[in-house]
């Protein structure tokens, strides 16, 4: 009997050792970012650490609801969001575990949650991409208010309310300008027959590149992706950052960010991954591959981004006039913003 018990214990220890080793070598990441934009960073993390990342990419809303549904036994260890509003929404519903380290301390406080529940890993601002064959740079509006002028009727493309960055932008406008002014801007754009193509900025920048529309509202890095298209005929585009004049309201600089799921099965690997995302190696990838703003001050902005800002030798975060709002408020405004977008039929 004792021999059998001893044998069972040995087998259990062996099985546990194999299971634990596998678990320790795994990380499950839910990502609202499209795979091509996040896979280079994940691949480098796997190479440097030996940790195998299981990636589930999808829509932010669906992933967030799955995380909230699984709070007691989560399948995800880390959530990557396109913008801070989704992160704040999950934080307010108790989905994240707090984490801070020497690595996360190097990211400016404006771009992370004060309680350590999430951290920004890259930045982006709103801008206008325009087709140089259809409109001269001097004629491109330099402010959001000017963009609503009737002379631009039928010439502008944008994403619909299914895009998280668009929702965050409207939330920022509501915080800065108030509901009535924001509603007025949206209605004027709608009355100008703005084309809401889909929930993808890729569709917007490609439509402008093909000459279907003179201008498009995008996140800035989509302009650089268009400039790097293989077909030269699609590259004749320019970019204008709105409200950058002295005394202007500036533009929201939002973040792609990440948080560790509360009760994550692979907590140690999750912490290692968060530290990696804000490391120089990962920050350089965000800057060099995706043309995003690195949030780690020691990492340089892509030269093409600085050229578009007319700011060589500096950083994007120094060059861009940033709208003065607290981005950690965006999550609390999520439902009201969606209601406003539905009211003006931004779909």
- Please compute the mean of the pLDDT values over residues 127-145 and round it to a whole number: 98
211: pLDDT confidence band, cut at 50, 70 and 90? very high
Residue 199, in any domain of the structure: yes
Do residues 104 and 55 share a domain? yes
Helix/strand/coil for 211: coil
Mean pLDDT lowest among 56-60, 73-77, 138-142: 56-60
Q: Higher confidence at residue 260 or residue 7? A: 260
Cα 310 from Cα 290, distance rounded (Å): 19
Residues 110 and 131 in one domain: no
- Tell whether 308 is covered by a domain: no
Residue-averaged pLDDT of the chain: 93
Domain-located, residue 241? yes
Per-residue pLDDT of 12-52, as tens digits, reads 443 443 334 345 699 999 999 988 889 999 999 999 999 99
Whether residues 199 and 332 fall in one domain: yes
More confident residue, 139 or 10: 139
Q: Which residue range is the domain that position 59 belongs to?
A: 2-123+255-299
Sequence-separated (6 or more) residues with CB below 8 Å from residue 256: 33, 80, 81, 82, 83, 120, 121, 122, 123, 124, 286, 292
pTM above 0.95, yes or no: no
The predicted pLDDT at position 18 comes to 35
Q: Are residues 116 and 36 in the same domain?
A: yes
In a shared domain, residues 240 and 273: no
Residue 313 lies in a domain: no
Say if 314 falls within a structural domain: no
Q: What CATH number is given to the structural domain containing 55? A: 3.40.190.10
Task: Evaluate whether residue 233 is within a structural domain.
Answer: yes
Q: What is the DSSP annotation of 282-338?
A: HHHHHHHHH-PBP-STTSPPPHHHHHHTT-TTS-HHHHS-B----GGGTGGGHHHHH
pLDDT at 10 over 60: no
291-346, pLDDT tens digit by residue? 999 999 999 999 999 999 999 999 999 999 999 998 888 989 999 999 999 999 99
- Stretch 70-94: mean pLDDT, rounded? 95
In a domain, 337, yes or no: yes
Q: Which of 263, 282, 299 is the last residue of a domain?
A: 299
The verdict on 242 and 336 lying in the same domain is yes
> Do both 52 and 111 map to the same domain?
yes
Whether the predicted pLDDT of 116 surpasses 70? yes
Q: What is the reported pLDDT for 2?
A: 46
Q: Are residues 116 and 51 in the same domain?
A: yes
Q: Are residues 247 and 130 in the same domain?
A: yes
pLDDT at 34: 86
Whole-number pLDDT of residue 37: 85
CA distances from 319 to 109, 141, 252, 301 (A): 18, 19, 13, 11
Same domain? For 248 and 273 the reply is no
Res 341: pLDDT:
98
Both 166 and 181 in one domain: the answer is yes
In the prediction, which pLDDT does 17 show? 38
Q: Are residues 71 and 9 in the same domain?
A: yes
The total number of structural domains that make up the chain: 2
Q: In the chain, how many H helices and how many E strands? A: 14, 10
pLDDT, residue 9, reads: 42
The pLDDT tens digits for 264-300 are 999 999 999 999 999 999 999 999 999 999 999 999 9
- Is residue 248 within 8 Å of 320, Cβ to Cβ? no
pLDDT band of 207, cuts 50, 70, 90:
very high
The pLDDT of 150-175, averaged and rounded, is: 97
- The answer as to whether 316 is a domain residue is no
3-class DSSP state of 117: coil
Stretch (H or E) spanning 216: strand 215-219
């Amino acid at each position: 009997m004792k021999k059998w018990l001893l044998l069972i214990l040995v087998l259990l220890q062996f099985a546990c050792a194999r299971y634990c080793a596998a678990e320790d070598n795994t990380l499950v990441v839910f990502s609202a970012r499209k795979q091509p934009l996040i896979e280079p960073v994940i691949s480098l993390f796997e190479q440097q650490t030996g940790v195998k990342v299981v990636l589930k990419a999808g829509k932010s809303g669906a992933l967030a609801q799955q995380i909230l549904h699984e709070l007691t036994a989560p399948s995800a260890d880390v959530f990557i969001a396109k913008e801070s509003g989704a992160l704040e929404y999950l934080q307010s519903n108790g989905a994240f575990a707090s984490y801070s380290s020497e690595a996360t301390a190097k990211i400016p406080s404006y771009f992370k949650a004060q309680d350590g529940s999430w951290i920004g890993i890259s930045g982006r601002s709103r801008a206008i991409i325009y087709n140089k064959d259809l409109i001269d740079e001097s004629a491109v509006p330099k402010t959001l208010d000017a963009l609503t002028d009737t002379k631009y009727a039928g010439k502008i493309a944008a994403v619909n309310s299914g895009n998280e960055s668009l929702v965050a932008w409207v939330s920022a406008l509501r915080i800065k300008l108030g509901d009535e002014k924001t509603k007025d801007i949206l209605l004027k754009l709608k009355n100008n027959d703005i084309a809401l193509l889909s929930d993808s900025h890729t569709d917007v920048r490609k439509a402008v590149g093909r000459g279907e529309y003179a201008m498009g509202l995008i996140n800035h890095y989509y302009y650089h992706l268009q400039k790097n298209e293989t077909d030269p005929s699609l590259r004749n585009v320019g970019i204008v950052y709105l409200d950058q004049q002295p005394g202007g309201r500036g533009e929201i600089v939002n973040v792609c960010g990440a948080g560790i799921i509360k009760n994550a099965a692979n907590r140690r690997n999750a912490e290692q991954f968060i530290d990696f995302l804000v490391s120089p190696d990962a920050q350089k990838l965000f800057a060099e591959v995706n043309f995003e703003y690195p949030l780690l001050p020691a990492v340089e902005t892509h030269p093409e981004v600085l050229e578009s800002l007319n700011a060589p030798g500096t950083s994007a975060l120094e060059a861009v006039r940033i709208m003065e709002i607290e981005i950690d408020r965006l999550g609390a405004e999520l439902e009201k913003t969606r209601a406003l977008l539905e009211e003006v039929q931004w779909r």
